[in-house]
Amino acid sequence: MKTYHFTEPKGLDALEAADLGDPVLGPEDVRVDMRAWSLNYRDLGVPMGGYPRNDKIVRDPPLVPLSDGAGEVVEVGSAVTEFAPGDKVASCFFRDWETGPVREAVLGSALGGGLDGTLAERVVLPQRGWVKAPAHMSHEEAACLPCAAVTAWQGLVAADLCAGQTVLALGTGGVSVLALQMAKVAGARVFITSSSDEKLERARKLGADATINYREHPDWERQVLELTDGVGVDQVIEVGGAGTLEKSILATRVGGTVSLIGILTGVEGAFSSIGAILNAVTLRGIFVGSREMFTAMNRALEVGHVAPPIDRTFSFDSIDEVKGAYEHLRGATHFGKVVIRRA
């Protein structure tokens, strides 16, 4: 069985093709013929050492990368009740976070982190590690959901997403574009920022109500306040990290929520906490989500007939193509998701 794995923690050069053999199927297990994968910003950090490397989150190589994949069930164990051969499925980011609040015990079960990931022709996981893909999606589209979409969903829902709310999403990467799409389906008013006017135009086509170029307007939080008559937004999908957090808080209404999701500008930096205190803003850390959240999100995506925008697709068949997918993500010219596909 063809797979790719990182042999050393020294970046993309250490990615190699390998034949690791098909895993044995246990009674609870589901074997999936993988057809598509998507990359997340986190997948750049894991092999480059830019992601916290501790035993809980990322184990040492050799490591099969990626949390996100989709394909078709080809074999199920004797105790499997939820899946049958032929089902279209997607992987769960945390194999062991089925339901309820996050617990320390599940952190080591992140695919492509504490456990081998999905970048293989066939993947075996217990049935709790899979969800049925939304019926209207291709394998490529379903492969975009496990990390970025579930994260955006948890952030939106934890901040009580409802019709009429105002949501701010930063940038046009995977998490933010999916947040835009899902918030629009829920009837929210959505603002989104980008460094690119062309990407902002694409965001408007997906329903963004207002767009701000954060390069042209480094004081974008003021623009957000103007757009809300000085009130601020109900919630922010905060993917920027240290460099944007203070602005996100200032752009949030009294009593609103900032979902702390990303570290695109870095993990460390000074910020003034007074805005969060005086505006009684909730700062909530979000770590992807559970299988239960994934399933609930899929129902919403089916009702809204939403599919993630795929920027570019690369082939699983050649290591140069697979590395090309990583490089494309790193270049950050993408809008939405970067996908690898198997013919």
Ligand X SMILES: NC(=O)c1ccc[n+]([C@@H]2O[C@H](COP(=O)([O-])OP(=O)(O)OC[C@H]3O[C@@H](n4cnc5c(N)ncnc54)[C@H](OP(=O)(O)O)[C@@H]3O)[C@@H](O)[C@H]2O)c1
Residues that bind ligand X (CB under 6 A): 40-42, 147-148, 151, 170-175, 193-196, 199, 214, 239-240, 243-244, 261-265, 286-288, 329, 332
CB of 78 to ligand X, least distance (A): 34
Name the residue nearer to ligand X (CB basis): 83 or 335: 335
CB of 23 to ligand X, least distance (A): 27
CB of 86 to ligand X, least distance (A): 30
| Rounded-to-integer distance, Cα 53 and Cα 257, Å | 29
| Rounded-to-integer distance, Cα 22 and Cα 208, Å | 45
Name the residue nearer to ligand X (CB basis): 47 or 173: 173
Name the residue nearer to ligand X (CB basis): 106 or 286: 286
131 and 295 in contact (C-beta within 8 Å)?
A: yes
CB of 131 to ligand X, least distance (A): 17
CB of 76 to ligand X, least distance (A): 29
Tokens of 111: 């695919």
Name the residue nearer to ligand X (CB basis): 27 or 52: 52
Cα 301 from chain centroid (whole Å): 15
241 and 263 in contact (C-beta within 8 Å)?
A: yes
> First-to-last CA distance in the chain?
15
Name the residue nearer to ligand X (CB basis): 30 or 70: 70
73 and 32 in contact (C-beta within 8 Å)?
A: yes
CB of 134 to ligand X, least distance (A): 19
Strands 68-76 and 122-126: unpaired
Residue closest to ligand X (Cβ):
173
Element (H, E) at 274: helix 274-278
Name the residue nearer to ligand X (CB basis): 130 or 214: 214
Considering only CA atoms, which of 23, 34, 21, 30 is closest in space to residue 316? 34
Name the residue nearer to ligand X (CB basis): 73 or 131: 131
User: What 3-state DSSP class applies to 323?
Assistant: helix
CB of 96 to ligand X, least distance (A): 16
Residues 6+ apart with CB under 8 A from 185: 300, 301, 303, 304, 306
| Rounded-to-integer distance, Cα 118 and Cα 236, Å | 30
